[in-house]
Structure 1
Amino acid sequence: MQNFLTLDNQLCFAIYETNSQFTKLYSNVLQSFGITYPQYLVLLALWEKDEITLKELGERLNLGTGTLTPMIKRMEANGWIKRERMISDERKVAICLQEKAINQKDDIHQAIANEVIACQIDLNEYQLLMDQLKILQNKLTIRSSN
């Protein structure tokens, strides 16, 4: 049991280290586009569903408005997104993609895909890892809600 308590045998540390490596990999690729990794996550969410409220975006990314608002302002200043009053309810503001984000979507996706391939992660392995991480995430979510 004592061996289990070493740092190298901790799943949480392995996930932490892997996350750090992924963030570094993505950040290096995204730098050429002038966006950060968290900004890329915003774009991913908006590419899935454009024109959503700040609250919806925060829920989708699991980020609070204190983190999200300054990021949205920077992205708006850099021409990636814009904020507009919703037609259905003018009290709400929608976050919308700008042409820059729409036009560079394929280039960004291709650059990320090239880096993942360069790490020698094939499609089957990628899907297996995703499946395993989703199972783990669900278990942790269930545990934290009890």
Structure 2
Amino acid sequence: MSNTPPYAPDAPALSLKLDDQLCFALYSATNALKKMYRPMLDRLGLTYPQYLVMMVLWERDGMTVSEIGEKLFLDSATLTPLLKRLEAQGILERKRAAEDERVVRVSLTAKGKALKDDAASVPGEAVTATGCTPDELTALRDALKRLRTDLMKTG
């Protein structure tokens, strides 16, 4: 078996130049994406992480904290403060499960359910703001999902 790496040793990704780094491209693109979402989410009274929680619950209400965390790749220490703030806004409620008090179920209130209608325009506005076609964004999303899956296997 050869000890040759599966990449060219002079590949740009192996340099220490910032602009050659995948990690920086993803980091800076994520920052730009959050900045682009900010005015849209300000109208809803949500931060970007809160918006992600809401999308999960609009998809399936009544999930447990751990299920939401799995879906968003967040631990409960990060997720719990988000949920508390949303609960303080009257958007959701958290209740311990009767069958197991360690389990906390999260349910949307009427206000949280109504917020979905107000958020309906956000995905279209976001697509427009990118300047990409829906097909380009779908291909990019799918490539990033594959990358995430591969990275999670290794680390």
What interval of TM-score do these two structures reach, taking the shorter chain for normalisation? Answer: 0.7 to 0.9
Equivalent of 2:135 in 124, 136, 145? 124
Aligned counterparts, 1:36-115, within 5 A: 36-86=47-97, 89=99, 91=101, 92-115=103-126
Fraction of identical pairs, as percent: 39
CA separation in 1, counterparts of 2:29 and 2:73?
20
Q: 2:37 aligns with which of 14, 19, 26?
A: 26
Conserved 8 A contact 1:26-1:112: no
Q: Where do 5+ consecutive residues of structure 2 fail to align?
A: 1-9
Runs (4+) of structure 1 exceeding 4 A deviation are none
Q: How many Å separate the matches in 1 of 2:95 and 2:61?
A: 12
Q: Say which structure is richer in helix.
A: 1
Q: What is the Cα-based RMSD across aligned positions, in Å?
A: 1.8
Secondary structure at 1:79's aligned position in 2? coil
Query: How far apart, in 1, do the equivalents of 2:153 and 2:94 lie?
Result: 35
Larger RCO of the pair (alpha carbons < 8 Å, separation 6+): 1
Alpha-carbon distance, 1:125 to partner: 0.6
> In the comparison of the two structures, how many residue pairs are matched?
143
- Gaps in structure 1 of 5+ consecutive residues: none
Deviation string 1:67-110 (CA, Å, 9 cap, x unpaired) is 211211110110111113436x2623310011122112132131
Contact 2:36 2:129 in 1 (8 A): no
Distance change (3 Å), C-alpha of 1:2 and 1:68: closer
Q: Identify the residue that residue 150 of structure 2 maps to in structure 1.
A: 139
- Match in the other structure for 1:13: 24
